[in-house]
Amino acid sequence: MSDPWQECMDHCVEVTNKAGQMIREALQKDIAVMQKSSPVDLVTETDQKVEQLIISSIKEKYPAHSFIGEESVAAGAPSVLTDNPTWIIDPIDGTTNFVHRYCLSRGFIEFGIVYSCIEDKMYTARKGKGAFCNGDPIKVSGQEDISQSMVLTEMNFHKDPGHFKTMMANIENILTIPVHGIRSPGSAAVNMCLVACGAADAYYHMGIHCWDMAGGAAVVTEAGGVIMDTSGGPFDLMSRRLIVASSRAIAQRVAKEITEFPVGRDDTD
């Protein structure tokens, strides 16, 4: 029986491989950096070209589908989820990493794809069918004890000094549980895949976007992970915040230790 979502996913893996090639080539050349909303919100021509490549190649095959793409939204396109099949695209998740040539990543949530193209690790997940890295099945660690865990988060500069203080206090609360450690690899998508394959046990973040979360959320859920809102409530793709973990116990403990600050929503800002 034909499976339309599998066809979409296979097509997307093909395009993602081409995008990875484009990114690797761009890393060999000079990178011209432009600012978006602030000096720490960066974009390059490669982000824009990769997003164009992905959207045009998907549109050609699926002209009726909708898109939410990071760079298209930055250029004024709407960021609204409807009932129409919607591709959520982040061409380079970790633009700052890319700019500094500091390693790197791509992708619900019928399926999710995250390609860490420098490591050549293609993470794929299809709803109800498991998660894979380069075709091999992956699973979360299953760790339930937060004191034995590795936690990931990212430290972004938030314009409001109060938010910044809350972010630092959250890190202190987690570190002093104590946990084994906190790391910041620089890409939300890769962070979720690190939890999905058991290299880390939790990841939390406030202030990211649906295109940072969609692909990785599918991968970590299919790998047996738990995903929830930073309030401890259900995950909401447009809420700009999340906790993912190897177990519900760890996710709930992280939610208990962190204080939220307002980050807005993708579909209303």
Residue 51 lies near ligand LIP (rule: CB under 6 A) = no
Nearest distance from C-beta of residue 95 to ligand LIP, angstroms? 4
d(CA 110, CA 115): 17
CB 171 within 8 Å of CB 153: yes
CB of 40 to ligand LIP, least distance (A): 7
What part of residues 20-49 is at the interface with ligand LIP (CB under 6 A)?
none
Active-site residue, 145 included: no
92 counts as catalytic: yes
Q: Does 212 bind ligand LIP (CB under 6 A)?
A: yes
Among 93, 201, 222, 266, binds ligand LIP (CB under 6 A): 93
Q: Which of 9, 48, 68, 94 is in the footprint of ligand LIP by CB under 6 A?
A: 94
Nearest approach, Cβ of 210 to ligand LIP (angstroms)? 11
Pairing mode of beta strands 33-35, 136-137: unpaired
Residue 166 found at the interface with ligand LIP (CB under 6 A): no
Long-range contacts of residues 227-235, Cβ cutoff 8 Å, at least 24 apart: 227/251, 228/252, 228/255, 229/255, 230/204, 230/206, 230/255, 230/258, 230/260, 231/255, 231/260, 232/256
User: What does residue 84 show for φ and ψ, rounded to 5 degrees?
Assistant: -70, 145
Task: Please tell me the count of residues contacting ligand LIP according to CB under 6 A.
Answer: 11
DSSP-based three-state secondary structure for 133: strand
Decide if 112 contacts 218 (C-beta within 8 A).
yes
Query: 192 vs 75, 182, 202, 222, CA distance in Å?
Result: 27, 14, 8, 11
Stretch that binds ligand LIP, among 72-80, 88-96, 192-200, 255-263 (CB under 6 A): 88-96
Rg of the chain (C-alpha set) = 18
**Could you tell me which stretch among 57-65, 91-99, 158-166, 221-229 binds ligand LIP (CB under 6 A)?**
91-99
From 55, 58, 89, 92, the catalytic residue:
92
Which of residues 88, 193, 196, 208 is near ligand LIP by CB under 6 A? 208
Question: Using CB under 6 A, which of 51, 70, 71, 201 touches ligand LIP?
Answer: 70
Residue from 122, 138, 141 nearest 12 by CA? 122
Q: Which residue among 16, 72, 143, 187 contacts ligand LIP (CB under 6 A)?
A: 187
Residue numbers of the site for ligand LIP (CB under 6 A)?
70, 90, 93-95, 154, 156, 187-188, 208, 212
